[in-house]
Structure 1
């Protein structure tokens, strides 16, 4: 029931680390993948810290919930770095931590520690499921509670959860039994119809700029580009914004700001920011120095503006905002966009004049032979 409930809510990957306490879950999961749902993929990782980041990478790149399975004790704590990354990156990682039963807690049993709420506030929910309960509604509870927990993990803003499983010996499960029917719980994802506040709508008259910060999904990027083109709005594209080069995308604004050339371009009357905090601190400093009002959009990012310049916080999906904006705001004149489009030549010239600048060094990497092993240092180097 536990395994099928995870599957019912979209879990198709599990990263398993070895250990005795995981035996029943691991073997049943293997049987499930081999005979029941062959699209269930099992990944083996000896070290839990590596396992955590493997699961994080799968969840992040495929935008799906991924389960981790660890044995009891200190092994479970090694998920903490990946759980923390999942929390700040809004990734639906599911830490399944097998545990010693209640009668072995706090009396010196090996590989035993308090695993309940192990990851503190870094998880959206921490729950313990007693798998070996004899009460008649245990299976029904597992079907409901586990599916609800996975749904919470993927709900925006997404994030990790922990499911703790105390297991008693004997740990060898019965295999080759009939698998139960688990009904999938349906969660309605109804898009909010957004009514733009009147006092905000009046500020969309002219000189509006979009800022595409780090994005966890490409779900709205095409719509962002379409709306920007229709309304003649430049898009300042963060390096992690997942915005493809296009007629409206302004790349390399760092170089404009650092060289002082940005002063030659018209200051936006309003910036609509999508995504997370921009990688470039210079962009935030420029916005603050020019006192440009900012509208923060996106359920995952409302209230997450450490520069504290966001005047409006719209707790809606990017899709809902862009749809409403497109319907009620008239296109602005092309002059503002056209002036900003000339910045591309300025950026290219600035970089060309400074071949040993950060961006210049990155550009020289195009000369490296294919399959070259490249090590990039921490901090700004990897961001550039």
Structure 2
């Protein structure tokens, strides 16, 4: 198996996550004994796979996940789905029983062929380890798996390796010549920007003064999009996961998209969506109802749930924007742009003035203040449900922070492990998650919190699933039992049981200093922010009303 690992390393793999198991002994030893691989051991295969996912998201490099046969392999599935839908490179190494033990009731044996279906880019059902072919073949298997995982668009590849007894390898394995690794954060290829696409989009943009750029989640730097929007004189509404919630983007764009009154008098002729589909209902409705919608889709996501786009371009947004800038005359400061900018400033003043007047730590303010206080170079990992929506609505534009999230399939599972995987990459790591998201991956916290990682988890604790309080299920008599699911658990005891440290924030102004103090102290911290679900709903409504009033006064 050392040849297999040599092949993986030659294509940029540096990390592997391993769970204990007998059948996977040779895989675990080969990874552990390779000088070029850092091995992270996890008891739970699901947490292991999500930890690998976080590492891969943070580094852009393929990360291996190795496990034994049977349900151990099946536990990788949730992370495989997220890796597939968020275009994240993983290499899944599953040990298996040899062919003669299949279909005869052998222990710990399931059919692992094509176990992950269409969620992997390539499935390799390898020959029994130890049988012919030779080591050079195994090197090729590893090389191809890592290359496939990394090739545009990136995603998971699965190598299933059967082993016969004895399971502990003996004898020397032949050395395979090493190849130069790829540099960090690069792929063999990315979406190509075709000249015909540049010309086609440039012609449409030249004709339109009243346009809007909407940026959804993106994997790679697309900062030239900001320059293009400014040159066009179009407002840029950028989600934090786009990497474009930086100066030049609107500060309160999510509130403007949610304002029917504002949009009724500010109807764009063309909307250009860059990257994934919007997160919020208002954002989805905005692009779905656009007169004309063009989607720049660098990762073949389609990203058009309403099937509304008149044109979809598979292109790298950065290079496409640079090319467009050479073909478009500047319209900076156009009347259309000034109207959006003035409305944005009015909305931001209304939001900040109101939430800063409340002593208690409103969840929207938690998201805003956390994003604002982080040091340059930090990674902010954001959980699904309310945290990602609050960050989208309340985060002010700023540079220097990378926002990551599991928004491919938008689950809450494995989030703690994902964030700890990001921390293992060496990034200064902070995370914003709900209390149920924390508890859903409590096994990841219990196993990893005391293993030398540094991460600060900010957890608004509203004793249940707050997002359902904003949805139609709120009126059902079974709301608490089936949807809100209050847990009544003491998060300080959860932290203590895992070997993490705990702090509680009861005043809004105390969040930033508490977070920064925890980060300086090192280790894994849970910064708990108690919140009442009903009050949280009321506060969100008050903010919306304040924005509506501010926009109405502005006229």
Deviation at 1:182, TM superposition (A): 4.3
Deviation at 1:90, TM superposition (A): 1.2
Would the alpha carbon gap of residues 79 and 199 (structure 1) be closer, same or farther in structure 2, given more than 3 Å must change? closer
CA contact (8 A) 2:213 2:236 kept: yes
Q: Could you tell me the TM-score, scaled by structure 2's length? A: 0.61
Q: Which residue of 1 aligns with 2:15?
A: 13
Deviation at 1:304, TM superposition (A): 2.5
Q: Could you tell me the TM-score, scaled by structure 1's length? A: 0.86
Q: Which residue of 2 aligns with 1:313?
A: 312
Q: Which residue of 2 aligns with 1:167?
A: 163
Q: Which residue of 2 aligns with 1:70?
A: 67
Give the Cα–Cα distance (whole angstroms) in 2 for the partners of residues 185 and 242 of structure 1.
27
Give the Cα–Cα distance (whole angstroms) in 2 for the partners of residues 175 and 27 of structure 1.
13
Q: Which residue of 2 aligns with 1:212?
A: 215
- 120, 124, 133: which one pairs with 1:123? 120
Return 5+ residue gaps in structure 2 as ranges: 370-507, 519-526, 541-555
CA contact (8 A) 1:83 1:119 kept: yes
Cα-to-partner distance string for 1:295-334 (whole Å, 9 max, x where unaligned): 1113314522102222111112223322321222322342
Would the alpha carbon gap of residues 75 and 244 (structure 1) be closer, same or farther in structure 2, given more than 3 Å must change? same
Would the alpha carbon gap of residues 102 and 73 (structure 1) be closer, same or farther in structure 2, given more than 3 Å must change? same
Q: Which residue of 1 aligns with 2:142?
A: 146
CA contact (8 A) 1:231 1:332 kept: yes
Would the alpha carbon gap of residues 260 and 57 (structure 1) be closer, same or farther in structure 2, given more than 3 Å must change? same
Give the Cα–Cα distance (whole angstroms) in 2 for the partners of residues 78 and 346 of structure 1.
49
Return 5+ residue gaps in structure 1 as ranges: none
Q: Which residue of 2 aligns with 1:245?
A: 246
Give the Cα–Cα distance (whole angstroms) in 2 for the partners of residues 188 and 157 of structure 1.
10
Cα-to-partner distance string for 1:141-190 (whole Å, 9 max, x where unaligned): 33334322322212222211211000111122236656321446999648
In the TM superposition, 1:3-82 aligns within 5 A as 3-33=5-35, 37=36, 40-82=37-79
Give the Cα–Cα distance (whole angstroms) in 2 for the partners of residues 43 and 64 of structure 1.
16
Deviation at 1:29, TM superposition (A): 1.8
In the TM superposition, 1:238-317 aligns within 5 A as 238-246=239-247, 248-263=248-263, 266-289=266-289, 291-317=290-316
Deviates most, 257-266 or 12-21: 257-266
Deviates most, 10-19 or 266-275: 266-275
- 149, 154, 160: which one pairs with 1:158? 154
Would the alpha carbon gap of residues 107 and 199 (structure 1) be closer, same or farther in structure 2, given more than 3 Å must change? same
Matched, 1:373 2:372: no
Q: Which residue of 1 aligns with 2:328?
A: 329
Would the alpha carbon gap of residues 245 and 377 (structure 1) be closer, same or farther in structure 2, given more than 3 Å must change? farther
Deviates most, 73-82 or 357-366: 357-366
C-alpha RMSD of matched pairs (Å) = 3.0
Give the Cα–Cα distance (whole angstroms) in 2 for the partners of residues 24 and 243 of structure 1.
44
Aligned length: 371
Give the Cα–Cα distance (whole angstroms) in 2 for the partners of residues 233 and 58 of structure 1.
36
In the TM superposition, 1:176-195 aligns within 5 A as 179-183=175-179, 189=189, 191-195=192-196
CA contact (8 A) 2:153 2:299 kept: yes
Deviates most, 325-334 or 116-125: 325-334
Deviation at 1:354, TM superposition (A): 5.7
- 100, 103, 108: which one pairs with 1:103? 100
CA contact (8 A) 1:212 1:235 kept: yes
Give the Cα–Cα distance (whole angstroms) in 2 for the partners of residues 13 and 252 of structure 1.
39
Cα-to-partner distance string for 1:47-83 (whole Å, 9 max, x where unaligned): 1111111111111122211100001111111111111
Deviation at 1:374, TM superposition (A): 4.1
